[in-house]
Amino acid sequence: MPQTMNKIVFIDRDGVINVDLWKYVERWQEFRFEPSAPAAMKALTDAGFDIFIISNQAGVGDGVFTAEQLRDVHEKMIGELTARGVRIKGAHYCTHSKHGNCSCRKPRTGLFEKAVEGVRFKKSETFFVGDKATDIEAGKNFGVRTILVRTGYGAETEKKLTPATRPDYVVDDLGAAADRILAAQADTKSKTDVGGSYEN
């Protein structure tokens, strides 16, 4: 018997899960969910996806806010999502300076690699949802499929797409992205049901 493949999805935080403030979210009082986001993540949870948040938070490394503030926002966000039936499998934040040379700040792939250590999954069936060109580049660098949402910086990003930053899909928000991911999964499943199982 083949080992079970995990179904996973990577999601950027600011501008996708929560409203981008055009500055860092420094405290919980500033945090507002994007309207479609909690229900979208609930649908993905219910469909058996492991959700990983992949977020650059260089404000910590650059001294704009503290690691304790980031943790507080994180914990309260998780609390709210848990209360709404969402399960977040992991959240990975790059807190290094924008000006540094770490291996995890998107478009680099360190956060993704950390998230999936020891996890069996198919990159070709896995999506990263983000709102910036660096998100799309990061997803491409890691070898997964990409969805650009028009929330946050997404509408601006869409106007400036290049071959290097062209995502697989552009959709309005995380709700539409979740619909897209669930539809792709249904396609894969029906092919598998008809023809047996395929390994990439």
Active-site residues, by number, are: 12, 14
DSSP state for residue 23 in the 8-state scheme: S
Which residue, 131 or 137, is less far from Mg ion as judged by CB?
A: 131
Choose from Mg ion, Zn ion, none: what does 96 bind? Cβ within 5-8 Å by kind. Answer: Zn ion
Choose from Zn ion, Mg ion, none: what does 34 bind? Cβ within 5-8 Å by kind. Answer: none
The token pair that represents 143 in the structure block: 């070898």
- What type of residue is 66? T
CA atoms 178, 181, 187, 190: torsion sign: negative
Q: Which listed residue (8, 12, 54, 88) binds Mg ion by CB under 5 A?
A: 12
DSSP state for residue 28 in the 8-state scheme: G
Least distance between Zn ion and beta carbon 172 (Å): 30
Decide if 37 contacts 172 (C-beta within 8 A). Answer: no
Choose from Zn ion, Mg ion, none: what does 12 bind? Cβ within 5-8 Å by kind. Answer: Mg ion
Least distance between Mg ion and beta carbon 132 (Å): 5
Query: Any residues with CB less than 8 A from the CB of 30 and at least 6 apart, and which?
Result: 21
Which residue, 41 or 94, is less far from Zn ion as judged by CB?
A: 94
Q: Which of 101, 112, 109 is nearest to 52 (CA)?
A: 112
Decide if 15 contacts 132 (C-beta within 8 A). Answer: yes
Which residue, 92 or 123, is less far from Zn ion as judged by CB?
A: 92
Residues at the site binding Zn ion, with contacts judged by CB under 5 A: 94, 96, 102, 104-105
Taking residues 129 to 158 in sequence order and writing x for each that binds Mg ion by CB under 5 A, - otherwise, the string is: --x---------------------------
Least distance between Mg ion and beta carbon 15 (Å): 4
User: Is 9 strand, coil or helix?
Assistant: strand
Q: Which listed residue (8, 11, 15, 145) binds Mg ion by CB under 5 A?
A: 15
The token pair that represents 84 in the structure block: 């709404």
User: Which residues contact Mg ion by CB under 5 A?
Assistant: 12, 14-15, 131
